[in-house]
Structure 1
Amino acid sequence: MADTRRPHAVLWDMDGTLVDTEPYWIDVEFELAARHGGKWSHEHALNLVGNDLIESGRYIREHMGIDLEPAQIVEELLDGVVARVADQVPWRPGAVDLLEDLGEQEIPCALVTMSYRRFVAPILEALPSSTFEAIVTGDAVSRGKPHPEPYLKAASLLGVDPSYCLAVEDSNTGARSAEAAGCTVLVVPNHVPVLDGVRRVFADSLAGADLVEIFASGWTMRD
């Protein structure tokens, strides 16, 4: 019988969860609008939190009112955000400590992000190479969050059952993806409110969090 007292793996969202890059994305979106004569708002920007990048590109094309293909919009956004991350990685409080703690406990981790690999690269370079045993990016899946494919793929790469995984998320879109894959979800809201859910456990911060205890409490809630 599988041990339900501790997670077999922890699957990490990135934007807004490990790193607080959402302000970078929002700044670059406004720059994109100014550069191409479009209109944008903070409300529209928050609607994109956690979304697949191509879907975000389609949303921006429609609501910003610019005549660019979604793929070109994504590339221009990535250019701006990658430059900012290369200058400074804005870690969320407690994130790096938890990654180190999980490594010491030999609990494998995967990164599950809808950002593309070239944006993820400078963040990975700031961490030990052994931090993540699997990496799933938005350009490596056919269906992004909120579809379960990203989390199912991460669990498969680690060789674990997703129902014994703890996912860490900050958005409804990501939480829906992880729940649909069968994971217990630790939600640490950041820029957008997140709804309650059967498999969701909430925390105000990653700082000082005990992920093993959180997984056990989330599993108990599911019984």
Structure 2
Amino acid sequence: MDAVIFDLDGVLVDSETTWDEVRRAVVAEHGGTWRPEATRAQQGMSTPEWANYLVETLGAQLAPDEIARVVIDEMAARYADRPPVIDGADQVVREISRHWPVAIASSSPPVLIHSFLTACDLTSLVPVAVSSEEVAAGKPEPDVYLRAATLLGVEASRCAAVEDSTNGLRAAFAANMTVFAVPNPHFPPDPAVLRKATVLPNLAALPHSLSDAAHSGK
């Protein structure tokens, strides 16, 4: 194992419920109708993908680029003081960065990824941060993970990925990475997908599990 690539939302920041709340409010405000499957459907989508979903599937009466701006502006406002960092997440990234190169591969837009890195003073320790806005397709496609591995200069099959959601796990598996899951308590992943990953009780367990995997040759 030559590198570790983290998802952001649900792994390092407790933001999935905030994304859900903001999107629901914007859809309602602009004449759309939320559907029961909408939350899970959007997990892992890139910004253009979920913006189109809000308009074309949920019926919000805004252009996709405009609804994306409204949602991201509200998310940025909520991140203004400090992103909702999961307790100890920044320390885990610091510890792992002492042993392996570290990257982020996220469906969040770049402004929110960099907000997290800046708030936690991790910019110098995380040399690669890729948003799915910057690749052809969001999760569950593997593009964002493959791009992060390429920028790190590491074969994707030599990377560990850390994920929390069904689509994120599928993306990491599709990239042929060793996958560690910290299941999202708000939106638990599909058990059939989860069974293929190394499941951790919390993020704090990751350094030990990575060390075990490295020593076992996984």
Cα distance in 1, alignment partners of residues 17 and 198 from structure 2: 25
Where does residue 200 of structure 2 map in the other structure? 203
Unaligned runs of 5+ in 2: none
Structure 1 residue 24 corresponds to structure 2 residue 18: yes
TM-score, reference length from structure 2: 0.88
Q: Residue type of the partner of 1:103?
A: S
**In 2, Cα distance between the equivalents of 1:150 and 1:130?**
21
Letter aligned with residue 117 of structure 2: L
1:77 matches 2:71: yes
The residue that corresponds to 2:150 in the other structure is 156
Identity %: 35
Asked whether 1:45 is paired with 2:39, we answer yes
Q: What letter corresponds to residue 127 of structure 2 in structure 1?
A: E
Supply the distance in 2 between the matched residues of 1:218 and 1:147 (Cα, whole angstroms): 28
In the other structure, the counterpart of 1:215 is: 213
Q: Normalization by structure 1: what TM-score?
A: 0.86
Are 1:133 and 2:127 an aligned pair? yes
4+ runs of 1 displaced by more than 6 Å? none
Question: Structure 2 CA distance, aligned partners of 1:173 and 1:15?
Answer: 12
> Greater shift after overlay, 111-120 or 46-55?
46-55
Deviations along 1:5-63, one digit per CA (max 9) or x if unpaired, are xx310001001111011121112112202321322256422332222222212221134
Q: Which deviations, in whole Å up to 9, do the C-alpha atoms of 1:82-121 show, x marking residues without a partner?
A: 110122311123321211111222x110110111112222
Alignment CA distance shift 1:49-1:114 (3 Å): same
User: How many residues matched?
Assistant: 213
CA RMSD of superposed structures (Å)? 2.1
Q: Is the 8 A contact 2:48 2:133 kept in 1?
A: no
Does 2:53 correspond to 1:55? no
In the alignment, the residues of structure 2 paired with residue 120 and residue 138 of structure 1 have an alpha-carbon distance, to the nearest angstrom, of 11
Residues 1:159 and 1:183: Cα distance change in structure 2 (over 3 Å): same
Q: Deviations over 1:138-169 (max 9, x none)?
A: 22112221111111111111111111111001
